[in-house]
Amino acid sequence: MRISSSALLVFSLSVPLATQAVAQDASPNKAKNVILLISDGAGINTWHAASYYRHGALGHEVYDDFDIKLFASTHPLNTSNVPTHSQDGAVTFDAEKIWGKDKSDSVFKGSLGNYPGYFSGYDYLRADYTDSAAAATALASGHKTYNNAINWSNDNQKLKHIGEYAVENGKALGVITSVQWSHATPAGFLAHNASRNDYAAIGKEIIESGLATVVMGSGHPFYDQNGQAIKPKNDKAYRYVGGKEEWDRLIAGKTAYKHIETKADFIALADGKLNMGNKSKLMGTVQNNATLQFNRDGVSAGNLLPNQPDLATMTKGALNLVAKNPNGFLLMVEGGAVDWAAHANNLPRLIEEQIDFNLAVEAVANWVEENSSWDETLVIVTTDHGNGLLQGPDSNTHAYSDIVNQGAGALPLVRWHTDTHTRELVPVYAKGPGADFLTNVAKPNPGLATYHVPEESQHFVDNTDIFRTVANAFGIATPQAK
């Protein structure tokens, strides 16, 4: 989809769908399990658009009933792509500047076209934004770092992530995503690398470390973006799965992992009927080299690829494996292609991907209520950053105007203001033991009233506080960089 942001995007009903260490508040054993769900690149209006399309109103998603509802800042340490070994270029963040309504005649040059500035607040949000690697590192390690880093510091040092802490404390680790399992967000909970783009090395580390009990995602070298079988052209086709040699070892059963790839096997795992043979760990690579669904041909929603599992099915399967650990688990679930749809300014598929994510959240909530309890399992639902600066159709004249609900099954009326990431304050929802840590560290920001949230939700934490919340909930003491 190639639409200039200067044009009103009105979709008709006919469109288908490390310097100073501090100790954690290490109250022991608050939570047995933590489940963190990340809708990649989902600003507040991504959540709203999906709810409008799905329910015709806000307030009907399972996370809307969570105890804690606030926001998070997401800026990186700096916007370099390599370690700088200095404070030069460090990003500063002033949440008050988000809401600036001074007229702006700037032009933001995006990949899809040029986006007029309109307001100073928009300009502020489109500057100095994080990438998914630095954001994943903040969420997983509690450290701000440079863009491009996977648990790697600006001083060129490896950073320990929450998955490692969880496993050290006897818990199982699970990581699943709707994009390649070596991509930035899943890699943040599994690996370390100075560059997110070193997929083969990241994939190899994920397999050879054996850290996780279960890993699932795409990146299959023998399938295209439409789930059609292909013959790999060269070794580059294996980059998302650790390289050809590592892939050959994986599918031959020569690693710690049982490998699955068919939709039937993902369903069997979700139903508790998959034969694991002599393996206790599982790697699932769906039959697609790109995403579960987003990268298929066309731009409209619907007509889903029939041979792909959905994120909810993968989530249920992952829970069946990690829950076998009597000491509990950490599970990260990513709706990764939400971000890809926002980069494309593709509203139908943005909503489609967000709904797929929301169904995974529902699967998690159902699992907690049927197999655990809200007294022993903490669930956090959030995003790593905004993308697209999606606003209402008249947001060129009225700053931060609401997107327009057209009822269930109809696309809301919107306007895009960029085709890349933003540093807007993004939603955080939490429920379960340790969730109140977020409210204890949150700072007020009355400007959030713009989103029509109650006063108690007009607060924000930093994305590094998500790491601290998880560690605190587990009762794990960690050195933490301010």
Rounded to whole angstroms, the Cα distance separating 13 from 2 reads 19
* Averaged pLDDT, 144-161: 98
Pairing of strands 68-73, 214-218: unpaired
Task: Indicate if the pLDDT at residue 62 is higher than 70.
Answer: yes
Question: CB-side exposure of 89: number of CA atoms within 13 Å?
Answer: 17
DSSP letter at 385 equals -
Task: Indicate if the pLDDT at residue 364 is higher than 90.
Answer: yes
* Averaged pLDDT, 50-79: 98
The pLDDT value recorded for residue 479 is 83
CATH of the domain at 320: 3.40.720.10
* Averaged pLDDT, 407-425: 98
20 vs 162 pLDDT, higher one:
162
183 annotated ligand binder: yes
The pLDDT value recorded for residue 28 is 45
The pLDDT tens digits of the residues spanning 201-254 come to 999 999 999 999 999 999 999 999 999 999 999 999 999 999 999 999 999 999
Kindly list the distances between the CA atom of residue 87 and the CA atoms of 84, 124, 155, 159, 196, in Å, as whole numbers in the listed order. 8, 21, 10, 18, 22
Query: Is residue 20 one of the residues assigned to a domain?
Result: no
The pLDDT value recorded for residue 20 is 31
459 annotated ligand binder: no
* Averaged pLDDT, 284-295: 98
Task: Indicate if the pLDDT at residue 16 is higher than 70.
Answer: no
Task: Indicate if the pLDDT at residue 415 is higher than 60.
Answer: yes
Instruction: Examine the residue annotation and report whether 51 is marked as an active-site residue of this protein.
Output: no
Catalytic residue among 73, 132, 178, 182: 132
Strands (E), 26-146: 33-39, 68-73, 103-109, 114-119
> Please, which pLDDT band fits residue 50 given cuts at 50, 70 and 90?
very high
Query: Is residue 23 one of the residues assigned to a domain?
Result: no
CB proximity list for 104: less than 8 A, separation 6 or greater: 117, 118, 119, 120, 122, 123
Query: Is residue 330 one of the residues assigned to a domain?
Result: yes
Rounded to whole angstroms, the Cα distance separating 165 from 161 reads 7
The pLDDT value recorded for residue 480 is 65
The pLDDT value recorded for residue 81 is 98
Task: Indicate if the pLDDT at residue 5 is higher than 50.
Answer: no
Rounded to whole angstroms, the Cα distance separating 56 from 94 reads 34
Task: Indicate if the pLDDT at residue 183 is higher than 60.
Answer: yes
Task: Indicate if the pLDDT at residue 18 is higher than 60.
Answer: no
Task: Indicate if the pLDDT at residue 124 is higher than 70.
Answer: yes
Helix (H) or strand (E) holding 439: helix 436-441
Helix, strand, coil % in the chain, rounded to nearest 5: 30, 20, 50
The pLDDT value recorded for residue 25 is 46
The pLDDT value recorded for residue 27 is 47
Query: Is residue 304 one of the residues assigned to a domain?
Result: yes
* Averaged pLDDT, 168-193: 98
The pLDDT value recorded for residue 17 is 34
Query: Is residue 222 one of the residues assigned to a domain?
Result: yes
Kindly list the distances between the CA atom of residue 236 and the CA atoms of 63, 220, 409, in Å, as whole numbers in the listed order. 40, 12, 41
Rounded to whole angstroms, the Cα distance separating 330 from 37 reads 11
The pLDDT tens digits of the residues spanning 318-361 come to 999 999 999 999 999 999 999 999 999 999 999 999 999 999 99
DSSP letter at 157 equals -
343 annotated ligand binder: yes
185 annotated ligand binder: yes
Query: Is residue 14 one of the residues assigned to a domain?
Result: no
C-alpha dihedral (335, 318, 323, 142), degrees to nearest 10:
-40
- Per DSSP, the residues of 216-256 read EEE--TTB-TTS-B----SGGGGGGGT-HHHHHHHHTT-SS
CB distance 199 to 180 below 8 Å: yes
Rounded to whole angstroms, the Cα distance separating 263 from 245 reads 25
3-state DSSP call for residue 427?
Answer: strand
pTM of the prediction? 0.94
Q: Which residues of 101-134 are buried (b: 16+ CB within 10 A; e: fewer)?
A: eeebeeebebebbebbbbbbbbbbbbebbbbbbb
Rounded to whole angstroms, the Cα distance separating 452 from 456 reads 11
CB distance 240 to 186 below 8 Å: no
* Averaged pLDDT, 123-147: 98
The pLDDT value recorded for residue 205 is 98
13 burial type by CB count under 10 A (0-12 exposed, 13-18 middle, 19+ buried)? exposed
Query: Is residue 17 one of the residues assigned to a domain?
Result: no
Rounded to whole angstroms, the Cα distance separating 260 from 214 reads 11
C-alpha dihedral (477, 187, 344, 38), degrees to nearest 10:
-30
Average pLDDT, the chain: 94
Structural domain that includes position 408: 33-83+92-474
161 annotated ligand binder: no
Q: What are phi and psi of 179, to 5 degrees?
A: -120, -170
CB proximity list for 220: less than 8 A, separation 6 or greater: 241, 261, 285, 286, 287, 288, 289
Residue 242 corresponds to which tokens in the numbers above? 């650790």
Query: Is residue 2 one of the residues assigned to a domain?
Result: no
Task: Indicate if the pLDDT at residue 12 is higher than 80.
Answer: no
The pLDDT value recorded for residue 6 is 33
Residue 352 corresponds to which tokens in the numbers above? 């489609």
Rounded to whole angstroms, the Cα distance separating 232 from 220 reads 10
Q: How many domains in the chain? A: 1
